[in-house]
A = this chain, B = another copy of it.
């Protein structure tokens, strides 16, 4: 069988979150993200397109590096309002049967004991369709509003996240044995206490002595997503993640990324195919190539310069309000610019001005755009999957939610026609659909499964 492509829909509980300024487009419905019907419609559209999951990005702060305040973020709706990513999920699950939900939660600010309960609750309610996108957070504004004096250094954030995962693995995999709940009315035993174990975790960052508050859910541990880009982030993903999300800028960059990440995964004692790699793609679809490019021009005209610059300032920590928009990025002396914007500063084909980089970044957060007819886009997806060794794609939107409808109505049938995309869901849980191994649980080579000493 030809290599099968998997797809996630990339969203956030915010108006036009990944295409800054697109809330102004007449086809955009992102303003309705505060309504349940927006979420149930999103889930139904993507399930009609047989996507694996709704991938829900999140920030718990404001983009306030640009100009040193939140004004640009407010004016241009730069991932603001930023509503909670977990709360619409049960409504989406109620109207769908197969699609999964992958919310983002920061391991830097959550408590492992309560986060483990939240995700177990959702894994029960969705009957095994939950993933967790583990992030360690980059915004200073998150840290200072959540009780820290500032953002933790990256190394420390990853050390803490590593122990955080150790705690939740103990709760999810080792606190309740599979047959602990007996529900025996005659003998008056709801669950067998001999099969429910306190985890007695005592570490550098966390002390969690208790038992998990939730009996085993269909997947136990939710499917683990990650998006680490730095070497430390990649090692973290190689150790823990079952799926990674990456911004792809070119096929060459993707090839190098997938090769590196699968090698790191093997070094962790896992198999290369144990990690699903999803580059992010913004599709711009036309019935002709010319129509698609005309659409691209129209979309670019809706991008907000100031809003996108504020987004980029948040991502990099550099206040771009002090730079001339027509300055070349590669001429900017700050080390931060050079390190954080490689896709622009190291582009062999082009010298990017700040204005051009911002304009490019305003659609799909600077990820690659696949522009063309459904056939042309399917060609690209197929090439990137095969030559780039990607397992699938996180599909971003220009205008929400119509981008998804267009993709599902036009590109999905083309992928199906080629035999590289499912025509029905085979598994019951998200993990079964993602890996097609028939196993709702983590494989035994995953570190979460290995802590057998507990029981």
Pair B70/A36 contact, Cβ less than 8 Å: no
- In the complex, A122→B87 CA distance in Å? 7
Q: A145-B209, A196-B70 are in contact. Are A188 and B84 (CB under 8 A)?
A: no
In the assembled complex, A141 has its CB within 8 A of some CB on chain B: yes
Let me know if A209 and B144 touch, CB within 8 A. Answer: yes
Task: Say yes or no: is A91 at the interface (Cβ < 8 Å to chain B).
Answer: yes
Q: Is A131 an interface residue (CB 8 A)?
A: no
| Interface-centre pick from A94, A113, A190 (highest chain B CB count, 10 A) | A190
- Which residues does chain B contribute within 8 Å of A324, judged by CB atoms? none
In this assembly, does A35 line the interface, its C-beta being within 8 Å of a C-beta of chain B? yes
A76 at the A/B interface (Cβ < 8 Å)? yes
A41-89 interface with B by 8 A CB criterion: 60-62, 64, 69-72, 74-77, 80-84, 86-89
* 0/1 string, A164-198, CB within 8 A of B gives 1: 00000000000000001001010011111100101
Q: In the bound complex, do residue B125 and residue A34 qualify as a contact, i.e. CB atoms below 8 Å apart? A: yes
Q: CB within 8 A of A74: which of B70, B141, B190, B209? A: B190
Q: Tell me the complex Cα distance, A121–B84, Å.
A: 6
| Among A210-218, A405-413, A420-428, the stretch in contact with B | A210-218
Q: Is A304 interfacial (CB-CB < 8 Å)?
A: yes
Tell me if A83 and B124 are in contact (CB < 8 A). Answer: yes
- Shortest CB-to-CB span from A171 to chain B, Å, is 10
B residues near A196, Cβ cutoff 8 Å: 70, 74
Residues A87 and B90 in contact, CB atoms below 8 Å apart: yes
The answer to whether B24 touches A74, judged by C-beta atoms less than 8 angstroms apart, is no
Give chain A interface residues in 90-121, CB to chain B under 8 Å.
Answer: 90-91, 93-95, 109, 111, 113-114, 117-118, 120-121
Most-contacted residue by chain B among A23, A87, A126 (CB, 10 A): A87
A147 with B207: CB separation less than 8 A: yes
In the assembled complex, the Cα of A338 lies from the Cα of B346 at a distance in Å of 75
In contact, B23 and A83 (Cβ under 8 angstroms): no
Asked if A266 is an interface residue, CB under 8 A from chain B, the answer is no
Closest Cβ of chain B: how far from A335's Cβ, in Å? 28
- Interfacial chain B residues near A193, Cβ < 8 Å: 70-72, 74-75
A31 near B: Cβ within 8 Å? yes
Min distance, Cβ A345 to any Cβ of chain B, angstroms = 29
Cβ of A370 within 8 Å of any chain B Cβ, yes or no, is: no
Interchain CA distance A189-B61 in the complex, whole Å: 20
A window 13-43: CB within 8 A of B: 13, 15, 21, 23-24, 31, 34-36, 39-40
7 contacts between A and B (CB under 8 A): A35-B125, A72-B193, A76-B188, A82-B214, A87-B122, A90-B91, A91-B94
**7 A-B pairs closest in CB distance:** A90-B91, A34-B124, A77-B190, A71-B193, A84-B121, A83-B121, A113-B145
